[in-house]
Structure 1
Amino acid sequence: MKTQVAIVGAGPAGLLLSHLLRLQGIDSVVVETRSREYCENRIRAGVLEQGTVDTLVESGLGARMQREGLVHHGIELLFERRRHRIDMTHLTGGRSITVYSQHEVVRDLIAAAIDHEQPVLFDVANVLLHDIRSDQPYVELVHRGERIRIDCDYIAGCDGFHGVSRASIPADVLRTYERVYPYAWLGILADATPSADELVYAHHERGFALFSMRSPSVTRLYLQCRPDENLAEWSDGRIWAELHTRFENDEGWTPNEGSITQKSVTPMRSFVAEPMQYGRLFLAGDAAHIVPPTGAKGMNLAVADVRTLSRALAARYRDGRVDLLEGYSTTCLERVWRAEHFSYFMTNMLHPSPDETSFVNRLKMSELKYVTTSNAAAQSLAENYVGLPFAEAG
């Protein structure tokens, strides 16, 4: 096979990149080790920044999201038994977020690929990247028992934290930065009508809790827990009791209970790899960076990456320009580190930790009070939460 861009990974980053390249008249092939069914049903959070929503709509991918997504104009911070609303739309000149699950975005992207006959190979194995420093890189893989070679001009590594792409960059070239947090999230899905219209972030002495939703009939909830938490010790009754405790407030609001259909423990980690390019290989999404879920930045950063990469590749093929490709890593990392800091800020402020001194935990409470009483602090939180405008290059 021969194509202009070989894309490794059929998550939101890889599939969206393929779609954006098609709109620019650039050929691509997407390869994925997982099955289509796995990709379409892998449940992940879905808080979309304004810029992500705009990108999907502008590229013709937003119809179902606009019908079924839940537009939120604010969030609530709950602490010391009081709810404090951050009016994001007012503070950011009209910007908002949309709750629309990641697997729904993936389904829309796969449907678009099928409609436009974009080649996506699922269930591949033994993926190897070759000659990425040359002007003739290629990807080798096995698909349906057949060994396939894909010759290309460029390779986009969109295959996640454990994929082959980042591992193909020599260790002496790559610099990595990481923080592992001393707590995790126990998350559940419940068949219960959401009892609030917006997300509620709760800071409680027993630990953080988050109220969210997946649809008008499904509630998503999280509890701060240990990274080595044993799910078998968490009965449905214990989960609901702990949620009600951490969401205690003077207004009597509480999440609706319902049948719990899913339980999982999510570790908390921050990670960045630099540079995000090596030769003809360009990393995007989780292959290059991980953020804790508190700031809701993971998929949004992936969208920002491939938006930048698609425009750089378009300039290369349309105008013969290579400056945007050469500056890809620098451009992306500016946004990545801003998102990393915001996610760190939100995570640190909202999670009390038994490993920290009472002094540090009191500082966290002071920060919460500041962002809910200072217009400037609230505006900073809101601007970062809805997503900063894209820095368009060239």
Structure 2
Amino acid sequence: MRTQVVIVGGGPSGLLLGQLLHKHGIETVILERKTRDYVLARIRAGILETGLVNMMREAGVAERMDRECFVHHGTCISYENEMFDINFQELIGQNVIVYGQTEVTHDLYDARAAVGAKTMFEVENVEIHDADRDAPCVTFHAEGSTQRLDCDFVAGCDGFHGISRKTIPETVRREYEKVFPFGWLGILSETPPVHEELIYANSTRGFALCSMRNENLSRYYVQCDLSDKVGNWSDDAFWDELKRRLPDAIAEKLVTGPSIEKSIAPLRSFVTEPMRWGRLFLCGDAAHIVPPTGAKGLNTAASDVHYLYEALVQHYRDNDSEGIERYSERALARVWKAERFSWSTTNLLHRFPDQTPFDLKMQRAEIESLHYNETAQRWFAQNYVGLPY
């Protein structure tokens, strides 16, 4: 078999890249390790930056998103019994939307099927060959046999544990990582959101987040120890702890109910450089991880897709390799800014085990500066809605 671009990984970044390339007549094959149903069952974030929203529209897959999404004009931050709003619309004239990553993925799969683009599921033993030469290929096991797919380029959209990053020799890549000493315990519940905007809460008991998927589906998180287990938390225990971390007026309005999903996610910051090796490009979690505090995971993957999509179109349409040569440089420049925002927001809102009384006073001063300083709020808003590509 042969195609122009092999996309390793059938998550939202790989699917979005494939759909955008298809609009320009560039052929792709997507290789996905799991089944479609498995991918669609993943519970992920739902805050979409302006850039990702525009790319969904450009790809022709935004009809349901535009119809069903929730527009958020700002967000709220609380500390103890205080809460303030950062109004993106008033500060910078932009907003974000809430539309679940599962829904994004569903729309992209439907669009890919509608145009007859090839996606192979339950693909095993993927290996990328000769990525540093002019004629790369990918071998894999699928449909009962070992197969080979020749191509011009390979896009590695296969996540942190995928094969793409590991294909780049250790002598070439450099990795940067910070592991945070806590995780997030999250639940999904069929209850109305406690507030029309997201609430990021700093309290003496630790961080909490009140989010939502739609008007009857809420997503809540509390900071927990890395050693904690989901089994240690009954639904009642979770709701009680969440209320303790919210301002009284919000806690009183909280509607509780049975959880339909419960999990613990560790927090880390991670970046690998470079994001290109020859004709292999890394996108999304294959190249970088951010703490979820700043809602940058899927959105940063989308910015990678933007740079790679433009580079490949430039190559095929104009016979110009400038975008390919500069892909890693351009993608990483924005990645590190997103990493900084996520790292900064995580430090601002969480309790760390080694914080001194001085550290806690400084954290409080930072939050109050954000509360009362319009310049600080404008910086926060610009980063939250997404820096320009």
TM-score range, shorter chain: over 0.9
The answer to whether the Cα contact below 8 Å between 2:243 and 2:251 also exists between their aligned partners in 1 is no
Q: Distance in 1 between matches of 2:379 and 2:299?
A: 18
Which residue of structure 2 lines up, in the alignment, with residue 289 of structure 1? Answer: 288
Q: Distance in 1 between matches of 2:162 and 2:250?
A: 47
1:363 aligns with 2:338: no
Give the CA deviation at 1:251.
6.6
Map Cα deviations across residues 10-69 of structure 1 (whole Å, 9 max, x no partner). 011111111011111111100010111011121101110011111111221111111111
SS of structure 1 residue aligned to 2:248: coil
SS of structure 2 residue aligned to 1:198: coil
Q: Distance in 1 between matches of 2:54 and 2:252?
A: 33
Which residue of structure 1 lines up, in the alignment, with residue 122 of structure 2? Answer: 123
Which residue of structure 2 lines up, in the alignment, with residue 345 of structure 1? Answer: 344
The answer to whether the Cα contact below 8 Å between 1:82 and 1:250 also exists between their aligned partners in 2 is no
Which residue of structure 2 lines up, in the alignment, with residue 21 of structure 1? Answer: 21
Which residue of structure 1 lines up, in the alignment, with residue 57 of structure 2? Answer: 57
| Segment drifting more, 51-60 vs 377-386 | 51-60
The answer to whether the Cα contact below 8 Å between 1:247 and 1:254 also exists between their aligned partners in 2 is no
Map Cα deviations across residues 325-363 of structure 1 (whole Å, 9 max, x no partner). 000000000100000000001000000223221211221
Moved over 6 A (4+): none
Shift in CA distance, 154/252, structure 1 to aligned 2, threshold 3 Å: closer
Q: Distance in 1 between matches of 2:99 and 2:52?
A: 11
SS of structure 2 residue aligned to 1:372: helix
Name the aligned partner's letter for residue 367 of structure 1: E
Map Cα deviations across residues 282-319 of structure 1 (whole Å, 9 max, x no partner). 00000000000000000001111011101101111111
Name the aligned partner's letter for residue 300 of structure 2: L
Q: Distance in 2 between matches of 1:177 and 1:165?
A: 17
CA RMSD of superposed structures (Å): 1.0
The answer to whether the Cα contact below 8 Å between 2:199 and 2:210 also exists between their aligned partners in 1 is yes
Q: Distance in 2 between matches of 1:99 and 1:19?
A: 22
Shift in CA distance, 139/374, structure 1 to aligned 2, threshold 3 Å: same
Q: Distance in 1 between matches of 2:56 and 2:351?
A: 36
Which residue of structure 1 lines up, in the alignment, with residue 3 of structure 2? Answer: 3
Give the CA deviation at 1:369.
0.4
1:309 aligns with 2:301: no
SS of structure 2 residue aligned to 1:273: strand
Name the aligned partner's letter for residue 49 of structure 1: E
Q: Distance in 1 between matches of 2:334 and 2:280?
A: 20
Shift in CA distance, 241/133, structure 1 to aligned 2, threshold 3 Å: same
Q: Distance in 2 between matches of 1:253 and 1:47?
A: 26
Map Cα deviations across residues 214-269 of structure 1 (whole Å, 9 max, x no partner). 11101100000011112221111111111111013357654211111111001000
Name the aligned partner's letter for residue 225 of structure 2: R
Which residue of structure 1 lines up, in the alignment, with residue 208 of structure 2? Answer: 209
Q: Distance in 1 between matches of 2:253 and 2:224?
A: 20
Q: Distance in 1 between matches of 2:228 and 2:250?
A: 31
SS of structure 1 residue aligned to 2:209: strand
Q: Distance in 2 between matches of 1:128 and 1:57?
A: 33
Q: Distance in 2 between matches of 1:163 and 1:12?
A: 15
Residue segments in structure 2 that go unaligned for 5+ positions in a row:
none
Give the CA deviation at 1:135.
0.5
Which residue of structure 1 lines up, in the alignment, with residue 87 of structure 2? Answer: 87
The answer to whether the Cα contact below 8 Å between 1:76 and 1:83 also exists between their aligned partners in 2 is yes
**Share of identical aligned residues, percent?**
47
Give the CA deviation at 1:379.
0.3
Which residue of structure 2 lines up, in the alignment, with residue 195 of structure 1? Answer: 194
Instruction: Name the count of aligned residue pairs.
Output: 389
| Segment drifting more, 327-336 vs 80-89 | 80-89
TM-score (norm 2): 0.98
Q: How does 1:137-286 map to 2 (within 5 A)?
A: 137-249=136-248, 253-286=252-285
Map Cα deviations across residues 181-229 of structure 1 (whole Å, 9 max, x no partner). 0111000011111121000011000000000001110110000001111
Name the aligned partner's letter for residue 323 of structure 1: E
Q: Distance in 2 between matches of 1:388 and 1:3?
A: 33
Residue segments in structure 1 that go unaligned for 5+ positions in a row:
none
Shift in CA distance, 259/252, structure 1 to aligned 2, threshold 3 Å: closer
SS of structure 2 residue aligned to 1:6: strand
Which residue of structure 1 lines up, in the alignment, with residue 297 of structure 2? Answer: 298
The answer to whether the Cα contact below 8 Å between 1:128 and 1:140 also exists between their aligned partners in 2 is yes
